[in-house]
Amino acid sequence: MRRRRKALDLTQAALAQRVGCAEVTIRKIEADVLRPSDEMAERIALSLQLSGEERSLFLRVARAQLAVDHLPTLPQSQPALPLPTHTSRTSNLPIQVTAFVERESEQAMLNELIAT
């Protein structure tokens, strides 16, 4: 994770902002002190532009299905696509949030509570 982040010229703070978490969280994940949730691992993989075998291996390690010291050597990554530039964020919410699907009644109740 650290090598890919550095290859993209991202600081831990910049990656944390893209993922929607605290910088210390990225630091602990890179130090193998903390494992990300499945959702956070997906957001990290997306932010690091991992695809194919790299993405699959990253998610397996994140889910503790594969130890870091058992990772195969991968060929050098393809050049990274330019990352989108973001303006200053007004919240600490993740950029990609999960959909609010088939919960119209809850959404209506929340809208009513917000309006009052």
pLDDT of residue 91: 60
Q: Which residue in 64, 74, 73 sits closest to 32, CA to CA?
A: 64
pLDDT digits (tens, 9 = 90+) for 70-83: 555 555 555 555 55
pLDDT of residue 87: 47
What mean pLDDT, rounded, does the chain reach?
78
Over residues 53-73, the mean pLDDT reads 73
Can you list the domains of the chain with their CATH numbers? 2-83+94-115 (1.10.260.40)
